[in-house]
């Protein structure tokens, strides 16, 4: 990535919007905005290769309220919220911090919530090969709150369901019930 080109582009955008980039409040803004977007677009792959072999554990594993943030690819505005991820192991347990790292990795760059939700589920399902995966992402989108519909406070929920969570209603209901119940605070 070219940070100086990104900084120049932000500067030009602000000038095109009739903003005084030399004012006290705007001085340094092109650099800060460019660095923010470079950070957001810098890939950080979550490696899911470190698993624990455990033949006797095939119960639901869930991490809830994982912070998630990204930028809408349509408007370059942030969206943020929380992800809830569950899987039922099939002889392999994943370190639970890997689920937070996977969420962070999938939300890098400019994207949409629907794609991030799907990517989290697909990667977990294909790389760890559990019996099932379910992901729910709840987020607020600045593009929906600040422009267009101006629906301040509206949130969006997306889900992705794989394996037994798709086929066994009781497994899906257990996960959704645990989300609704909340966790320790």
Q: What does the pLDDT look like over 151-168, one tens digit per residue? A: 998 999 999 999 999 999
DSSP 109: S
Q: Where is average pLDDT lowest: 28-32, 55-59, 121-125?
A: 55-59
Residue-wise pLDDT tens digits, 91-114: 888 989 999 999 999 999 999 999
pLDDT band at 43, cuts 50/70/90? confident
pLDDT at 185: 60
100 and 85 Cβ atoms separated by less than 8 Å: no
120 and 135 Cβ atoms separated by less than 8 Å: yes
Q: Which domains does the chain have, with CATH numbers?
A: 3-41 (no CATH), 51-181 (3.30.1130.10)
At 34, give phi and psi (nearest 5°).
Answer: -60, -45
CA distance readout (Å), 143 to 118, 146, 147: 21, 6, 6
Task: Taking the CA atoms of 52, 58, 64 and 69 in sequence, report the sign of the dihedral they define.
Answer: positive
């Amino acid at each position: 990535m070219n940070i100086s080109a990104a900084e120049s582009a932000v500067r030009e955008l602000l000038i095109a919007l009739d903003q005084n980039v030399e004012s006290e409040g705007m001085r340094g803004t092109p650099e800060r905005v460019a660095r923010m977007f470079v950070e957001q677009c810098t890939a950080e792959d979550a490696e899911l290769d470190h698993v624990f072999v455990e033949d006797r554990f095939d119960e639901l594993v869930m991490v809830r309220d994982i912070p998630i943030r990204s930028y809408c690819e349509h408007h370059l505005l942030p969206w943020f919220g929380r992800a809830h991820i569950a899987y039922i192991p099939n002889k392999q347990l994943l370190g639970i911090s890997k689920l937070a790292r996977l969420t962070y990795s999938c939300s890098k760059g400019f994207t949409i919530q629907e794609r991030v939700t799907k990517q989290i589920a697909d990667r977990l399902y294909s790389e760890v090969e559990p019996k099932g995966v379910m992901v729910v992402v709840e987020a607020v989108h600045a593009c929906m709150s600040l422009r267009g519909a101006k629906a301040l406070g509206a949130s969006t929920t997306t889900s992705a369901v794989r394996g037994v969570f798709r086929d066994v209603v009781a497994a899906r209901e257990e996960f959704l019930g645990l989300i609704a119940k909340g966790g320790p605070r």
